[in-house]
Amino acid sequence: MIGITKQTAAPGATWREDLPVPEVGPGEVLVKVKATAICGTDLHIYDWTPWAQARIKPPMVFGHEFAGEIVEVGQNVTGFKVGDRVAGETHISCGNCYFCQTGDQHICADMKIIGVHVPGSFAEYISIPVSCAWKVSPSVSYEDAAFLEPLGVAIHGVLSGEIGNQTVAIFGCGPIGLMGINVASASGANQIFAIEPIEEKVNLAKEMGATTLLRPGKDDVLQAVMDATNGIGVDVVIDFSGSAKAIQSGLQILRKGGRMTLTGLPNLPVELDLVDGVIYKEARINGTTGRRMYETWLQADKLFQAGKLNLDPAKGGTFALKDFEQAFAAIKAGKPGKMVLIP
């Protein structure tokens, strides 16, 4: 089959046409990949950053955001059949640790990740445990279905606290931030401030339901938010940027008693003013990671069925799998939205 591998322990990726179709083990389904999207994690692997060096064992197919059709069903699989349309959950949880046993398998202490620890989706076929297959209705296109995994990250962050009729500030208008704005809007947020320094990206937030666009560096974010909220600040801040400046600014614009959710991953410690930012405000800062298995998936289904989501502004471009170099180049050039590969 065709596919892209991290072939050697060095930057770049390799196009292959001679890969074996994966074996379908017991409890697994073989999926013909119809669409697969590129994530920040894939950039780490492509660029061979220290993060990737510590985890990836070449040669291996990478990629983990995908949707496709089941073409073969392994032993002991029930509930799935050939022809089912599925989207992939990236996380393979152990089932035995404290967190798996208490209903939080999405934060399993012994997690394996598709495209990181086991072969990924940048290929014609992928074999996955049934626990990673989520059925999608025919009304959802394969491209949208390939967005369900990162959409789930956005949903889990946005819906980790009250959102209806709240004033919300969302930092970062990458694909997940944009989808987060869309989810907040679809869930009845009252006012949505989209905060992102790159003009092209923040402009997309308007189509997602943002009511105010702010560009740090150009706009005075603190002043603008305070003016728009009678000096109170916003009820909810959600960080989808991982930027230290965003987290600091978020704590400033959060109202007393507000909720600040951190989903973006900062790579360095962030200087925090804990007295003004957390204690005097009685702020609640909560981190979210991945998606709940499978509560978040159900939430995504409902939002889709209600016709409330429009993921198009979060789509950066569609490329044939073979043209992956162009897709990676587009991301590096700062093109907004998520790039999709079609095997």
Partner 1 sequence: MVRAAVVAEPYHVEIRDIPKPSVEANDVLIKVEVAGICGSDLHLFKGTHAFRKPPAVLGHEMAGTVVEVGKNVKKFKAGDRVTVEPQVGCGQCRYCGQGLANLCLNKKVPGTPSWVGTFVEYFVAPEETVYAIPESLSFAEGLMAEPLAVAVHAVRRAELKPGDTVAILGSGTIGLLALLVAKAKGIETVYCTDVVDFNLEMAKKLGAKAAIHALREDPVEKIRSWTDDVGVDKVIIAAGPGTIIDQASAITRRRGRITLVAMITKPIPVYTYSFVFNEQTLAGSQTYQSQDFEEAVRLLSTKEVDVSSLITQELSLAETEQGLKMLADKAGNIVKIVVQP
Residue with tokens 């400033």: 252
CB closer to Zn ion out of 71 and 97: 97
Site for Zn ion in 25-44 (CB under 5 A): 39
Selected from 97, 130, 222, 244, the binder of Zn ion by CB under 5 A is 97
CB closer to partner 1 out of 13 and 238: 238
CB closer to partner 1 out of 185 and 288: 288
Round to whole Å and give the CA distance between 342 and 315: 14
Query: Which of the residues are catalytic?
Result: 41, 44
Residue 297, class by beta-carbon neighbours within 10 Å (0-12 exposed, 13-18 middle, 19+ buried)? buried
Round to whole Å and give the CA distance between 234 and 14: 47
Residue 100 binding target from Zn ion, partner 1, none, CB below 5 to 8 Å by type: Zn ion
Residues that bind Zn ion (rule: CB under 5 A) add up to a total of 6
List of residues 6+ apart from 93 with CB closer than 8 A: 99, 100, 105, 106, 108, 110, 111, 131, 293
What number of CA atoms fall less than 13 Å from residue 35's CA on the CB side? Answer: 22
Q: Which stretch binds Zn ion (CB under 5 A): 94-102, 211-219, 251-259, 274-282?
A: 94-102
CA dihedral 51, 86, 93, 50 (to 10 degrees): 0
What number of CA atoms fall less than 13 Å from residue 289's CA on the CB side? Answer: 11
CB closer to partner 1 out of 175 and 277: 277
Question: Contact 29/86 with Cβ under 8 angstroms?
Answer: yes
Tell the smallest beta-carbon distance from residue 98 to Zn ion (Å).
8
SS3 331: helix
Round to whole Å and give the CA distance between 38 and 60: 16
CB closer to Zn ion out of 147 and 319: 147
List of residues 6+ apart from 55 with CB closer than 8 A: 116, 117
Selected from 29, 31, 56, 100, the binder of Zn ion by CB under 5 A is 100
**Which residue type sits at 260?**
M
Tell the smallest beta-carbon distance from residue 72 to Zn ion (Å).
25
Letters for 178-217 (x = contact with Zn ion by CB under 5 A, - = none) are ----------------------------------------
Q: Which stretch binds Zn ion (CB under 5 A): 102-110, 115-123, 235-243, 279-287?
A: 102-110
Q: Which residues here bind partner 1, judged by CB under 8 A?
A: 98-99, 104, 107, 109, 232, 247, 256-257, 262-267, 269-276, 278-289
Selected from 5, 93, 167, 263, the binder of Zn ion by CB under 5 A is 93
CB closer to partner 1 out of 9 and 279: 279
Residue 39 binding target from partner 1, Zn ion, none, CB below 5 to 8 Å by type: Zn ion
Tell the smallest beta-carbon distance from residue 281 to partner 1 (Å).
6
CB closer to Zn ion out of 153 and 169: 153
Residue 24 binding target from Zn ion, partner 1, none, CB below 5 to 8 Å by type: none
Residue 187 binding target from partner 1, Zn ion, none, CB below 5 to 8 Å by type: none
Residue from 214, 333, 139 nearest 206 by CA = 214
Tell the smallest beta-carbon distance from residue 39 to Zn ion (Å).
3
Residue with tokens 């983990």: 64
Residue 93 binding target from partner 1, Zn ion, none, CB below 5 to 8 Å by type: Zn ion
Tell the smallest beta-carbon distance from residue 30 to partner 1 (Å).
32
Task: Return the DSSP state at 289.
Answer: -
Question: Contact 263/246 with Cβ under 8 angstroms?
Answer: no
Question: Contact 202/194 with Cβ under 8 angstroms?
Answer: yes
User: Contact residues for Zn ion (CB under 5 A)?
Assistant: 39, 93-94, 97, 100, 108
